[in-house]
A = this chain, B = another copy of it.
Amino acid sequence: MHAHVSPMLSNNRQSSTLSPFSGAYSTREYGRSGPLDEIVALGRARMVTEGTAIHRAGDAFRSVFYIKSGAAKRVLIQEDGREQILGFPMPGDIVAIEAISAGTHSTTVVALDICAIVEIPFEALEALAAERPDVARFLYQRMSAALREEHSWLAALGLFNADERLATFLLDLSQRFSARGFSAQRFMLRMTRAEIGSFLGLTLETVSRVFSRFQKLGLLNVTRREIELLDMDALYKLAHTRPTH
């Protein structure tokens, strides 16, 4: 998605041996900007196993969470029990910023893999931001970037068909991996077809079918969770975007 502005980028000379396939991956290389380090220093890291919730909708809001390593899904649960996946946070991302001011969390974030997370008490964060303009600005930036992201996905759901949505999704993942120093072509999907479908407003069968068709067309190779993008140009065309950079 064109709007995937990673606030923090690219000067990572990441060793290519560390592949997304290898499980938990570190983030030292990604996300070095002054304020972030200090913000993360407000909390202490802990591990969370696959399948456990980092926070749940309805919980009292006290903290935001920094994803240090691993993969997760952000879920909005409707009153009738249906679930909409809102995104797949990656290392360097901060989750629960939409709950600031709300009193309680509105979303649930679940680890898709073993995760290292840092719980950052919002009170401390707000206090730091009050005396450090760069920290406040960092917060505005993260929140506004999150808004722009949601806008892009809203447009994708409103305007795109299944092919376009899946192409957009794959390119978004690709760019985010690449921004973190991993291959833009080969990576591991951490989520099931059903989860991709929920995120994109499609059924798991449709996701599977589109994968198969894309493979038949030579756009990519996919087996289970491993994926290799072969024809990025075609994918970008489908996603109605140009590569960013």
Contact = CB atoms under 8 A, between A and B. Distances in A.
A150 B154 contact: yes
A151 B148 contact: no
B147 A79 contact: no
Given A157-B201, A240-B80, A145 B102 contact: yes
Interface residues of A, number: 50
B101 A240 contact: no
B147 A143 contact: yes
B102 A5 contact: yes
Interface in A192-243: 198-201, 240-242
A99 to B, nearest CB: 7
A176 to B, nearest CB: 18
A124 interface: no
A84 B155 contact: yes
Copies assembled: 2
A107 interface: yes
A2 interface: yes
Interface string A136-172: 1101110111111011111101110000000000000
A151 to B, nearest CB: 5
A98 B151 contact: yes
A38 interface: no
A107 B7 CA distance: 19
A153 B76 CA distance: 11
Interface of A: 2-3, 5, 7, 76, 78-80, 82, 84, 86, 97-102, 106-107, 126, 129-130, 133, 136-137, 139-141, 143-148, 150-155, 157-159, 198-201, 240-242
